[in-house]
Structure 1
Amino acid sequence: MSTTATSQPQPIAEDHHSLSAREERQVVLASTLGTLFEWYDFYIYGSLAVFMSSVLFPPNNPTAALLASLGALAAGFVIRPLGAIFFGYLGDLLGRKVTFLMTVVMMGGGTVLMGCIPSYESIGHLSWILLILLRLVQGLAVGGEYGGAVIYVSEHCVPKRRGLLTSWIQTTGSAGLMLCLFVILATQASMSAEAFRSWGWRVPFILSLVLLVISIYIRSKLHESPVFTRMKADRRLSKNPIRDTFLDWGSVRTMLIALFGVTAGMGATYFTGQFYVMIFLQQVVQIEQTLVYKMVIAGFLIGAPAYVFFGWISDRIGRKWVMIAGLLLAALCYRFLFGALLEAGNPGLVAAMKHSPVTIHASVDGDVCNARMSAALVGSHPDNKKACVLARKLLVSRGISFSYAAPVQGTDVAMTVGGTTIRGFDAAAYDSALTQAGYPSKADPMQVDVTRIVLILIFMTAMVAMVYGPVASYLVELFPPHIRYTSLSFPYHIGAGVVGGSLPFLATFLSISGGNVLTGLWYPVVVTSVTAVIGAQLLPNINKARDNKAS
């Protein structure tokens, strides 16, 4: 691919045989631990979004505050491609090591400061403005982190072991999430629930200072990549990696194929099966948070070896079709799997929706029941005060799907459940009618089928691993060394950052708009389906013969 992906001179052959097995393990361990800590920093925000939304955002609309906090989560992802360009440029120009030392300092520092932001009650709108600014700093840092880590490992190892060794880095995203959940559970166990809601949620952020010190120490001990060192000695470095990447049609074409043929679907798959599922279990299935965290940790720990397995398999049979199979499996299974999670986690809610369906009487074609996406981000937006919008948000916040019917004359909205129709919007009256119709306010812990949920989470982890396990080595092999950091990072972070990172917000918004708690899943289903079709047609099937050339 390097002979067609860019019009630049053919890159030098890569020397992958300079390390002993012990040195190879040290490189993988150091890169993996540093990246794991950085993912912890990034995901701690999303894991505590529910708590932060009540402290750092206006309190007049809890649902809008939650959506706004998820929007801030998405902002950190959306800016990642800019970080990929900036740090990719530095990585191709100055070296791999110095670049991901910079990213870890930015990420860890941003996390610690996030735990120190004063509340909305103390400083008003400045609280969430500071939050978004720090999320943007984190997004820029992650944009440079991933590419540096996988390239550093890949450029130290022999091609026939590249999928296996880079797959360890692929586990760090989920492992970082599990680490932050463990820290949250430990913090919650050390104090009262009220103390955690008030100030205890800040502790996991501030504890990141310890991980920051460890990460800097680990990264400072690493040597520069042998491939970069050789290119520098031979004066074959790109003088302007951004120009050589984005102003050459061959390189741009390869990045577009990588984006629409694998990384967009990778982002949707990963954030559905490893992150949105956690929000779904809490907000829709209504399972108590501590139990959700424990089940998610169990599902990942049991399913984690799948990342290494599929990386290893890709070294033997090729990477393309392993990734395509994972995308197709995700597209086919997500709606069914999330429906199964709802049944296993809250059977009382499923039974109530079956026997006493809820109907909203409103004109969905006019402006009365429509809420623009901007309303989800701004708590004081006029759309958030519409009776119909408030009714929809209340129902979805309780995990209740509903259907629409013709409006009741003389009122903007009405709700019918269990033969009772309530005109207008009255939260207390709605809650009372729903309770009388058999709708539980929370999932009954005694009825939660923990075993079934964990098995589903393990299967989801395996599906993610089919795509995510081989993708790092595949992208490294797709681009030539002299522009590799820039050209690899950009499509990866468009897929993971823009497509995947916006998934929790968009899925929640779509479910509220559509009236069905599973409607939001159409987003990852469509993305993975389209990506699989494009990838099957256009992705090159790189093999070991290709690996023996300059990649």
Structure 2
Amino acid sequence: MSVQVNFRQVASVAIVAWFGAFLEWLDFYTYALLAGLVAKIFFPSADPIASLLASFAALAIGFLFRPLGAIVFGKIGDQFGRKVAFITAMSLMLVGTLGIGLLPGYAEIGILASVGVFILRIIQGLALGGGYGAAITYLGEFVPEHRRGFFTGFLFTTPAAGMATVGALIWLFSTMLGTQQYNAWGWRLNFIVAGVIVFIIVLAMHLFYKETPVFSMLRAVRRVTSAPIREVFSRKYLPLVLLAWIGVVGAHGPIWYTNQLFNTYYVGPNFQKYVDSATASALLSTATYAALWMYPLFGYISDKVGRKPILLLGIYGNALWFPIAFWLIDQVGPQKDLTALWLLFWSMTLFNGIGYSGAMSAFLLELFPARIRLSAVSLAYNLGYGVTGGLTPFVITWLYSITKNVYLSTILWSTVVPMVMALWYALKGPETLGTRIWAEFAAEKFAKKTVTLPATTPIREVVKAMVDTGVKYVVLTGSVVGIFGTRSLIRALAAGAKLDEPAGNYAVKTSCIDAKAPVTEVFVALEQYNVRAVPVCEGGKPVGIVEARELVNEALGLRSVLKKKVALRFNVYDAAPRELVTIAPDKSLKEAIDLMAKYNIGFLPVVEDGKLVGVLSETDIVKAVAKGVDLGRPVAEFANKPIVVDKSATLRDAAELMVKYNIRHIPIVEDGKVVGVISVRDVLKAIG
């Protein structure tokens, strides 16, 4: 099953998502690559290692707050939409980035400067924790099922591209201004330029960004969860989150940040002193640019061979390459052989394109259901890369302060730890290739059993089958498939049909939706054929039926109304249709049927001398016909005692009565006189 999408739409969505994610990483890593310089400005100390540790701690705290950002923005995205979560997170990132660029240093405001950096890094961490997960989810839910790894692989180039761009900007500004001016104030240009660009893109995204079709469908069928975080931490889904965090993302986290961050510290003035900071940044940025093609390539390969072999290759292959790569760096570094250093940097960034390819994003998207996808993906991703990965510079520096051997410290954290963590995934992890994220929106998921009869069956027998089984619709089969429901009976009787006529003559002809087709096709059929139910087929044979009221989950919608404060601000009379159709108790059932058919309604207040004395529904008509009742008998004999609501009552009052008595229509009265009728649909429409 797949959803047909226009390539131009996919391309535009991919571009928007790419630039949004790219700018978040551009902001975030502006601090990461300038940590050594920031340490001198905001964390001065006589001990350079202590100063660097303080700066790395500020770097790490941003990563540590990413899981909290995932929880906060995951809840926003799973309840209110991916668009809201993404744009809000980017706006927050803008605050953190510009703040660091404009914050006075320790020399001007003392300890407040250090505290300010920590606060702004927390803001950045919260923003990235929510925004990037929203970008992954948005794009992954929009692209074709069989190309998920390929398309999301492009999105996964954004961290590397963002870091590489920061490195290039550092080199550009330091070259233009000179080392002295750049170290004094020029470094702030990186933060300010990044912040201004983000502001422009956020504004553009607010105007043009579209909501993911999967979330739109969740909202349409009222399957949006009200407690995504509680579900994520439930017994059902928490093991999957832990597997994704520890066995996959967390195992790759130290590898990615060693490749894309710590190797510049390793060769730079902080440790081995093979090159200066600007040269190290240039080596990394150019090597990263030269390896970006690996991300979509191995995403594409994972669409063919599976996610698991690609992810394990990215983890174990890279982890085992580190001892060799850093040993070679130590051989060529003292000779200042920039070509050899670049090739070694490039080899590591190539491995990143395997483990951090579209295979990673596709695996996360396919592991969790739509209702909690953003929360679960963001949490697993940010625990892995935000905590396990983000601690990389800090942990290696801490190990170095103990071992006094940067090579050993790097291998302990970047080779041994990932290989141990990945054992869980290697031994127990599932292969998710083939998982259709639209499968939970297949028509069969919303279908229920129904009665199926030949189209030649007399109306009398069809109605009796409806009453006996308690269904409102029967599927009629023959040369074409049709639906015969309570409204069909009303129209047939109003047209003068005899009960011995074939029901197929009055059924609504409709297409039979394939059981594996997305439920969007059900919505199309409901509107196209102007029906309230459509049949679902498997192998060309009807196997169930989807009713409009259940598709949009009216029962759940009513219960949600009871929790909304807005339901107290609307009264029932304002939400009810202005046209009121009633019938007198001495009128015949046939006259009631004619009124229902004329106005296409299924409910009539029974009124005598202006007073409400009862109600009659199309279900009452169906039961009367099943019993063979003479349609010339008066309505009064079949009317039910009404449940009413006062004109001044709120929508919450009406919803409470509908839920309590399991009814769909309630007469609105004023001084005993009926002034309107409100239905479930009216309540839900008013509340939105």
Query: Is TM (by shorter chain) over 0.5?
Result: yes
1:342 to 303, 313, 330: 330
Cα distance between partner residues in 2 of 1:147 and 1:257:
17
Cα distance between partner residues in 2 of 1:313 and 1:171:
16
Deviations 1:81-135 (A, max 9, x none): 0100110000000000011000111112210110111111111111010000000
How far off is 1:249 after superposition?
Answer: 0.7
| Matched residue, 2:390 | 501
How far off is 1:514 after superposition?
Answer: 0.6
Cα distance between partner residues in 2 of 1:162 and 1:54:
44
| Matched residue, 2:92 | 106
Amino acid at match of 2:89: T
| Matched residue, 1:421 | none
How far off is 1:25 after superposition?
Answer: 0.5
How far off is 1:546 after superposition?
Answer: 5.2
Cα distance between partner residues in 2 of 1:167 and 1:153:
10
Cα distance between partner residues in 1 of 2:72 and 2:162:
24
Tell me the secondary structure at the aligned position of residue 118 of structure 1: coil
Tell me the secondary structure at the aligned position of residue 177 of structure 2: coil
TM-score normalised by length of structure 1: 0.77
1:321 to 309, 318, 331: 309
Q: Is the 8 A contact 2:83 2:210 kept in 1?
A: yes
Cα distance between partner residues in 1 of 2:160 and 2:131:
15
Q: Is the 8 A contact 2:27 2:195 kept in 1?
A: no
Structure 1: gaps of 5 or more residues: 1-12, 347-446
Deviations 1:406-456 (A, max 9, x none): xxxxxxxxxxxxxxxxxxxxxxxxxxxxxxxxxxxxxxxxx3222221221
Over aligned residues, Cα RMSD in angstroms? 1.5
Amino acid at match of 2:320: L
Q: Is the 8 A contact 2:363 2:433 kept in 1?
A: no
Q: Is the 8 A contact 1:327 1:531 kept in 2?
A: no
Q: Is the 8 A contact 1:330 1:528 kept in 2?
A: no
Deviations 1:246-305 (A, max 9, x none): 1x2110011111112101112111101111111111122311222212211221111111
Amino acid at match of 2:373: R
Cα distance between partner residues in 2 of 1:529 and 1:240:
35
Structure with a larger share of its residues in strand: 2
Quick check: 1:258 aligned with 2:244? yes
Amino acid at match of 2:157: T
| Matched residue, 1:550 | 440
Amino acid at match of 1:544: G
1:242 to 222, 229, 236: 229
Q: Is the 8 A contact 2:232 2:372 kept in 1?
A: yes
How many residues get paired? 436
Change (3 A) 1:468 1:204: same
Quick check: 1:223 aligned with 2:113? no
Cα distance between partner residues in 2 of 1:532 and 1:82:
24
Change (3 A) 1:297 1:195: same
| Matched residue, 2:185 | 199
1:37 to 12, 15, 23: 23
Cα distance between partner residues in 2 of 1:331 and 1:541:
22
Quick check: 1:455 aligned with 2:343? yes
How far off is 1:214 after superposition?
Answer: 2.6
Cα distance between partner residues in 1 of 2:418 and 2:182:
38
Q: Is the 8 A contact 2:145 2:436 kept in 1?
A: no
1:233 to 196, 216, 220: 220
Deviations 1:291-321 (A, max 9, x none): 2122112211111111111111000000011
Cα distance between partner residues in 2 of 1:207 and 1:546:
41
| Matched residue, 1:525 | 415
How far off is 1:182 after superposition?
Answer: 1.4
Change (3 A) 1:270 1:288: same
How far off is 1:547 after superposition?
Answer: 5.8
Quick check: 1:46 aligned with 2:46? no
| Matched residue, 2:171 | 185
Cα distance between partner residues in 1 of 2:340 and 2:65:
37
Tell me the secondary structure at the aligned position of residue 103 of structure 2: coil
| Matched residue, 1:308 | 296
1:539 to 429, 438, 454: 429
Deviations 1:49-106 (A, max 9, x none): 1111111113333221111101110000011101001100000000000110001111
Cα distance between partner residues in 2 of 1:237 and 1:546:
19
Tell me the secondary structure at the aligned position of residue 210 of structure 2: coil
Cα distance between partner residues in 2 of 1:61 and 1:123:
21
Moved more, 177-186 or 211-220: 211-220
Amino acid at match of 2:371: H
Q: Is the 8 A contact 1:72 1:135 kept in 2?
A: yes
Cα distance between partner residues in 2 of 1:474 and 1:498:
20
Tell me the secondary structure at the aligned position of residue 245 of structure 2: helix
Cα distance between partner residues in 2 of 1:183 and 1:472:
28
How far off is 1:519 after superposition?
Answer: 2.1
For CA contacts below 8 A with separation 6 or more, give which structure has more relative contact order.
1
Cα distance between partner residues in 1 of 2:341 and 2:179:
25
Amino acid at match of 1:60: A
Deviations 1:221-247 (A, max 9, x none): 11111110111011111111111211x
Tell me the secondary structure at the aligned position of residue 44 of structure 2: coil
2:46 to 30, 39, 60: 60
1:408-427 counterparts in 2 under 5 A? none
Cα distance between partner residues in 2 of 1:278 and 1:218:
34
1:465 to 353, 356, 365: 353
Cα distance between partner residues in 2 of 1:182 and 1:298:
8
1:6-405 counterparts in 2 under 5 A? 16-17=3-4, 19-220=5-206, 221-246=208-233, 248-282=234-268, 283-286=270-273, 287-346=275-334
Amino acid at match of 2:337: D
Q: Is the 8 A contact 1:104 1:215 kept in 2?
A: no
Deviations 1:356-413 (A, max 9, x none): xxxxxxxxxxxxxxxxxxxxxxxxxxxxxxxxxxxxxxxxxxxxxxxxxxxxxxxxxx
| Matched residue, 1:3 | none
Q: Give the fraction of aligned pairs with identical amino acids, expressed as a percent.
A: 33
Amino acid at match of 1:532: A
Tell me the secondary structure at the aligned position of residue 261 of structure 2: helix
Q: Is the 8 A contact 1:162 1:315 kept in 2?
A: yes
Structure with a larger share of its residues in helix: 1
Tell me the secondary structure at the aligned position of residue 207 of structure 1: helix
| Larger of the two Rg values belongs to structure | 2
Tell me the secondary structure at the aligned position of residue 242 of structure 1: helix
Change (3 A) 1:257 1:288: same
Q: Is the 8 A contact 2:214 2:438 kept in 1?
A: no
Amino acid at match of 1:98: V
Cα distance between partner residues in 1 of 2:438 and 2:89:
32
Amino acid at match of 2:35: A
Cα distance between partner residues in 2 of 1:280 and 1:181:
15
Cα distance between partner residues in 2 of 1:495 and 1:25:
29
| Matched residue, 1:401 | none
Amino acid at match of 2:148: R
Q: Is the 8 A contact 2:264 2:277 kept in 1?
A: no
Structure 2: gaps of 5 or more residues: 442-688
